[in-house]
Structure 1
Amino acid sequence: MKKVLYEQELLRLQNELVKLQSWVRAEGVRLVVVFEGRDAAGKGGAIKRVTEYLNPRVARIVALPAPTERQRGQWYFQRYVEQLPAAGEIVLLDRSWYNRAGVEKVMGFCTDQEYRQFLHQCPIFERMLIEAGIELRKYWFSVSDVEQERRFRARLADPMRRWKLSPMDTESISRWEEYSQAKDEMFVHTDVPDSPWHVVDSDDKRRARINMIAHLLSTLPYRDVTVPPVSLPPRPPSKGYQRPPRDLQRYVPDHAGAVERKNGSGGPVRSLA
């Protein structure tokens, strides 16, 4: 997708997401959006674009670490229940309870009994959420093996993104078919009418983000909520207050000014140090 067209449509959709946020707050809606898929499939980039202009007190990203020893002794879904939204909140799950049907299954982090129990309980659990009034949306980001490897190599070559490549990610290359089988079996049990999966073709990241956001908006009956107008009051006249001398406070050095001088930018530079 061409960058200019992508940016124009993304901004339009993000404007609609702000309207959605106002509707969620006004109506007390509880919205959960699950982002799943293979490593490097583009989940994080999509979440970033969804939340870019949203209030972090309303739209919250949840990316849980590996469970603690205590959490391993709990009901599997328990730590995810703690993250569910209250009225007027949106929760975006960057990976979710579906870890059990994916990485835990493939890497042997759970027993076969735990895995089978998850496949049985998951649709029941999600039906309970929906019956309680929670809006649940599930997106699976699908990426080809060629594109996944290309993205891994790009991360490996980029010091700013190398942290995104973990030993678990490299395992996903050698276990490609195992992950495919696990995903297919997971869909058999959890792609149900009450809470269906929506697959996002993410070889083209821009197209994937546009498609996912547009679909999410299309599934919710949000409306443009009238926000009370806000006006700035006139600034009152001074009552004679005198600020303390600047040299009594610690200002950060003017690093930006140093960069400008180094690069020959014109204009005076005032040091704040």
Structure 2
Amino acid sequence: MISQDRQRRFEADLIDSYDEELEMEVDDRLLDGESALSEEARESRKVYFRELFRLQGELVKLQDWVVNTGHRLVVIFEGRDAAGKGGAIKRITQRLNPRVCRVAALPAPNNRERTQWYFQRYVSHLPAGGEIVLFDRSWYNRAGVERVMNFCSDDEYEEFFRSVPEFEKMLVRSGVQILKYWFSITDDEQEVRFQARIEDPLKQWKLSPMDLESRRRWEAYTVAKEVMLQRSHIPEAPWWVVQAVDKKRARLNCIHHLLAQVPYHDIEHAPIDLPARVYNDDYLRQPVPESMIVPEIY
């Protein structure tokens, strides 16, 4: 029997975990309570969070199935800068075990990596049995940023498109499932998001000189994206385009689609019984020195 006090504390802890999403969605510097949101907007937010929590519950079931079956899943997120890839990845991983579901976000290759087989540095991040790896950008950098910014030669670019279908087919034959998502936003929407980052001190770190240059080369990125989708869309690992102008809809649609691509099902677990705390007469808890205590400012 759970006491009322323990039930209250349990509910408070649950609400606190939900507040993490609210903290990411609501900027307290701009909102005075809920006054800045219309009734329609507040209702829309309720629907969004309700559905997000439901889908995250399904992701936990997916995780259990992946661990139980030894499934290997790779999910690739590509798109223009500020397209919302990172936000979707956060919502996917938020309630999952980081030992099962991890994010691979590789930096620019170093001098040694530039002399390796192009795919080599990505191979070490591929999942073992019972793992999910989300690539926040991937080997498709060569088809996008490297092509647009002239970081690769024409020969290297063409060799990539000769190799990538075979590389992915080889992974699929070995039992790795690959899902590839392109997050699509409009010209105007990217400009708004970039401007918001410029004006918000908490988001300025997201802007790099490369991001700013990508804004100037919008049309070149469009051409590169179209070529990439055409030349690397294969039955074994097709591309899926997420309409991402509305961030919340994009997250929900992406997660819903991802779940539909994996044949997971509920895994039965034995009931969990919390063992009784053992008390020993000779146990004496030692006091913590005051100098080690974090000051309680709040």
Q: TM-score, normalised by structure 2?
A: 0.84
The AA in structure 2 aligned to 1:128 is: M
Rounded Cα–Cα distance in structure 2 between residues aligned with 1:247 and 1:176: 59
- 1:141 has 2:183 as partner: yes
The AA in structure 1 aligned to 2:251 is: R
- What do the CA deviations read for 1:160-216 (whole angstroms, capped 9, x no partner)? 111001111111111011000001111111012121100000000000000000000
Rounded Cα–Cα distance in structure 2 between residues aligned with 1:236 and 1:242: 13
Report SS of the residue matched to 2:272.
coil
Q: Bigger shift: 67-76 or 227-236?
A: 227-236
Rounded Cα–Cα distance in structure 1 between residues aligned with 2:294 and 2:57: 35
Corresponding residue of 2:141: 99
- What do the CA deviations read for 1:196-255 (whole angstroms, capped 9, x no partner)? 100000000000000000000001100000122221111122322222233366111112
Report SS of the residue matched to 1:91.
strand
Rounded Cα–Cα distance in structure 2 between residues aligned with 1:229 and 1:101: 49
Rounded Cα–Cα distance in structure 2 between residues aligned with 1:228 and 1:151: 47
- 1:4 has 2:40 as partner: no
Corresponding residue of 2:151: 109
Corresponding residue of 1:60: 102
The AA in structure 1 aligned to 2:49 is: E
Corresponding residue of 1:86: 128
Q: Is the 8 A contact 1:46 1:209 kept in 2?
A: yes
Deviation at 1:77, TM superposition (A): 0.2
Rounded Cα–Cα distance in structure 1 between residues aligned with 2:80 and 2:290: 54
RMSD: 1.1
Rounded Cα–Cα distance in structure 2 between residues aligned with 1:28 and 1:247: 47
Corresponding residue of 1:244: 286
Corresponding residue of 1:130: 172
Report SS of the residue matched to 1:93.
strand
CA gap of 1:46–1:25, structure 2 versus 1, over 3 A, is same
Corresponding residue of 2:59: 17
Report SS of the residue matched to 1:137.
strand
Deviation at 1:39, TM superposition (A): 0.4
Percent identity between matched residues is 57
Rounded Cα–Cα distance in structure 2 between residues aligned with 1:227 and 1:174: 53
Corresponding residue of 1:209: 251
Q: Is the 8 A contact 1:123 1:192 kept in 2?
A: yes
Structure 1 portions without partners, runs of 5+: 257-273
Corresponding residue of 2:273: 231
Counting matched residue pairs gives: 256
Structure 2 portions without partners, runs of 5+: 1-40
